[in-house]
Structure 1
Amino acid sequence: MTQIDDATMQALEAAAFRRLRDHLRARTDVQNIDMMNLAGFCRNCLSRWMAEAAAEQGVALDKEEARTLVYGMPYDDWKALHQAEATEAQKTAFSESIKTHG
């Protein structure tokens, strides 16, 4: 495997995260509950992880600020524009899948 120094690795990881974030911003048709059911994480998880990383670095970033960074707008605005009511099937799948989330 190619040797990559820490600074370059961090830059690559940051670029990959920004690409994922931008992809999820563009794919507003993909519901968070479906992401949770299939992959075990969603946009809210990304924002929580960002807030946790900020706290570890001593950076003040609250939950709503982190969500705005991930969603590209305030979370309540995104929900109003893009979030559909979960179906019973989605809710049932979520109830089952949540048992395997760590």
Structure 2
Amino acid sequence: MLAFLQGASPQSAFNDEANKIVQSTISSLGLTKEEAEKHIKASMKRNPDQEIDKIMHALKEMQNPDSITDLQRKCMRIAEISGQAEMIEVVKNIFEEIRSK
């Protein structure tokens, strides 16, 4: 999810703050940068609609409300950095759907 948002525009793709958010999240999940890159590259080769469905399913499975709030904050910050109003709306809609499960 974070990689998808970060890649939304050159502003977020090459932004130090966005990079730090993504890297700290990868580290907190116990993944190396190389492992994360491997998963992202594989994801990019698959059907985008199916990948979005997988992301949504995983997000809906999250049980800890604090984790959901933290992820929402991170996603929103990257969307804001991207400068893309559509990405901000996407983040809002995704987390509204997650919270309404």
- With the length of structure 1 as denominator, give the TM-score of the two structures: 0.35
The structure with the largest helix share of the pair is 2
Larger radius of gyration: 1
- Per chain length, whose mean CA-contact separation is higher, i.e. which structure has more relative contact order (CA < 8 Å, sep 6+)? 2
- With the length of structure 2 as denominator, give the TM-score of the two structures: 0.35
